[in-house]
């Protein structure tokens, strides 16, 4: 009989059946699983602060499910591409990386997700490579994190974007051009126009992905606006290159404006980034918990 030890950070989600229904969240201690012949079915004993008698009572048939869903966080820009520059000199690439680390910690604390970043250091990652990372790792959700910049220093607030062939408004079209151009051409050269998305958007799978993307965008706006200023009509659409991952619900979040001194100061404050991370974690939790009929995890 082979013993398998599942640690809390194991990619496997464990559903315990038969004696009692426990969710993975309730299983805080490691499990020792004794594997029996036969695909995927295990018997397990809960360890931890239970006494032996209770532990024996809790012996249950368990099914080791597919791995916990993977959330990819995409800190915008990096390396020779600084992104937006704040009124006090803050660089978007630094704010996005720090915010992604805060969100990673917040999501991992939930114990329900695996979380990876498209970059963990100050280096350049091409937009197509960001999408490829999400595909290669089998992401269930892709969140691209940014901070915007406008000529008007009074404009502030967060906003959330999903992929569309046509932008929802002129401001968003200009934003997509800035993000696509800055991301791809950090040397000042504008990127090639993003690939045509009409073919992608036409397929059934894409409609499902788009519906799932819209749901996470709704949820993010709902949770962010409880704790942060948001733009008027904060949920918008445009052809962002980093949202092209086929089959992976993807959204781009602008956490605020570095051209606004209040937003810039807030985004430089770890406590504020923590507020954003917690709000986004609530949205991710709600999104994964919601009943879905799109076949996407």
Given CA atoms 211, 149, 85, 280 in this order, what sign does their dihedral have? negative
For the CB of residue 189, give the shortest distance to Zn ion in the complex, in Å: 16
146 lies in the binding site for Zn ion (CB under 5 A)? yes
Q: Can you tell me which residue has the tokens 């709902």?
A: 222
244 lies in the binding site for Zn ion (CB under 5 A)? no
15-52 b/e with 16+ CB inside 10 Å = b?
A: ebeeeeebebeebeeebbbeeeeeeeebebbbeeeeee
Q: What are phi and psi of 34, to 5 degrees?
A: -100, 120
Query: Pick from 69, 75, 76, 249: which binds Zn ion (CB under 5 A)?
Result: 76
* Residue 10 or 268 with smaller CB distance to Zn ion: 268
For the CB of residue 99, give the shortest distance to Zn ion in the complex, in Å: 12
* Residue 156 or 282 with smaller CB distance to Zn ion: 156
Query: Pick from 69, 75, 78, 83: which binds Zn ion (CB under 5 A)?
Result: 83
Q: Give, in order, the Cα–Cα distances in Å from 56 to each of 31, 43, 52, 76, 236.
A: 13, 11, 6, 50, 54
In a 3-state reduction of DSSP, which class is residue 249? coil
Name the one range near Zn ion by CB under 5 A: 36-44, 68-76, 134-142, 185-193.
68-76
Q: Would you give the binding string for Zn ion spanning residues 254-273, x where CB under 5 A is met?
A: --------------------
Name the one range near Zn ion by CB under 5 A: 78-86, 105-113, 159-167, 221-229.
78-86
- As a whole number of angstroms, the distance between CA 198 and CA 216 comes to 22
* Residue 83 or 194 with smaller CB distance to Zn ion: 83
- As a whole number of angstroms, the distance between CA 172 and CA 178 comes to 10
Sheet holding 114-117, edge to edge: 114-117, 70-75, 141-148, 250-257, 158-163, 230-238
* Residue 44 or 160 with smaller CB distance to Zn ion: 160
> Residues touching Zn ion: how many (CB under 5 A)?
4
The H or E element that residue 57 is part of is: helix 52-57
For the CB of residue 84, give the shortest distance to Zn ion in the complex, in Å: 6
181 lies in the binding site for Zn ion (CB under 5 A)? no
127 lies in the binding site for Zn ion (CB under 5 A)? no
Name the residue whose CB lies closest to Zn ion.
Answer: 146
* Residue 69 or 76 with smaller CB distance to Zn ion: 76
Site residues, Zn ion (CB under 5 A): 76, 83, 146, 179
């Amino acid at each position: 009989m082979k013993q398998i030890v599942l640690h809390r950070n194991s990619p496997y989600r464990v559903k315990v059946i038969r004696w009692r229904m426990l969710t993975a969240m309730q299983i805080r201690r490691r499990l020792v699983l004794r594997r029996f012949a036969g695909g995927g079915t295990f018997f397990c004993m809960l360890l931890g602060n239970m006494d032996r008698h209770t532990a024996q009572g809790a012996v249950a048939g368990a099914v080791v499910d597919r791995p916990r869903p993977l959330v990819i966080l995409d800190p915008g820009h990096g390396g020779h591409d600084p992104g937006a520059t704040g009124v006090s000199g803050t660089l978007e690439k630094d704010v996005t990386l720090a915010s992604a680390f805060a969100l990673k910690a917040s999501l991992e604390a939930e114990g329900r997700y695996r979380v990876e970043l498209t970059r963990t250091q100050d280096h350049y990652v091409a937009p197509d490579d960001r999408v490829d990372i999400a595909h290669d790792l089998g992401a269930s959700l892709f969140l691209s994190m940014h901070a915007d910049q406008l000529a008007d220093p009074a404009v502030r607030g967060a906003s959330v974007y999903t992929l569309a062939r046509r932008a929802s408004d002129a401001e968003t079209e200009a934003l997509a051009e800035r993000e696509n151009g800055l991301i791809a051409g950090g040397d000042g050269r504008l990127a090639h126009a993003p690939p045509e998305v009409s073919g992608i958007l036409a397929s059934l799978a894409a409609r499902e992905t788009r519906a799932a993307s819209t749901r996470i965008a709704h949820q993010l706006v709902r949770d962010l606006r409880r704790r942060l200023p948001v733009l008027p009509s904060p949920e918008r659409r445009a052809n962002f290159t980093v949202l092209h991952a086929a089959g992976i619900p993807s959204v781009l979040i602008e956490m605020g404006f570095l051209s606004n001194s209040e937003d810039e100061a807030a985004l430089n404050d770890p406590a504020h980034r923590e507020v954003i991370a917690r709000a986004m974690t609530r949205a991710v939790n709600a999104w994964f918990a919601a009943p879905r009929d799109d076949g996407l995890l």
